[in-house]
Structure 1
Amino acid sequence: MEDVKLEFPSLPQCKEDAEDWSYPMRREMQEILPGLFLGPYSAAMKSKLSILQKYGITHVVCIRQSIEANFIKPNFQHLFRYLVLDIADNPIENIIRFFPMTKEFIDGCLQSGGKVLIHGNAGISRSAALVIAYIMETFGIKYR
């Protein structure tokens, strides 16, 4: 039987003009890969519409707990395509079950020339986990 070797694209190079990350930047969205941004809910609020438009955002993945649905919600449904995921923020939540639909949404966005913002409340746990999973799956990066 012949060994099958999977082929994955190479990770993109960092931008030459990329700014070194600093702690206050956690309140802003950050471009993780070309066209893929990660940030807190504050980066997707009504007051940030001009910034979202400046960076060409076309799609938004909104991750929240069901109890946060009254205040963490799509603000621009007429402007952006949304994927809203209600994911509990606790250590036993099976977050991986949300990955296939998230990957399909991100891939669809990027393949159509769009740009996507993935945000949670703070943008450091559930949303970051899905971005990491996306990078690992897309570029064939192993856990160990």
Structure 2
Amino acid sequence: MLYNLSNWNKLTEDQRNYVCYHQKLTQPFIEKHWNDLTEEQRNSACTNQKLTQAFITKHWKKLINLQRDYVCCSQKLTQAFVSKHWKKLTEHQRDLIYEYQKLTPSFMEQLMSGNIPKRVFIPTKTMRYIDMDFEEF
């Protein structure tokens, strides 16, 4: 059964729970309604919806640990995100990342050793030179 999402405000809580769990929701829809979702609906969104890295980063601090657990095993996380949050993750969340995120062996080794790489800022001008193929000149 698919519910008409344009009638979101008219759906009962049970219907909204069903939608968050079973229907594919767009990122703009999730963003628009995130603050109005119940804890159960957010849990379902963290598990069953495809959340963008930008959305996860924006809401990470406000997620409860269970929702963070769901994100760690159900969402695709970047190495930059994992590196930034690694020290504050629970042991369980770290285990979930090891198990469910497709990390490179070298990155996993860095995480396990505590040698988490810092992102180095390269100015745009420098990047332009790095990307140039000097053989064309």
Normalising by structure 2, report the TM-score. Answer: 0.28
Give 1 or 2 for the bigger CA radius of gyration.
Answer: 2
Structure number with higher strand proportion: 1
Query: Greater relative contact order: 1 or 2 (C-alpha under 8 angstroms, separation 6 or more)?
Result: 1
> Taking structure 1 as the reference length, what is the TM-score of the superposition?
0.27
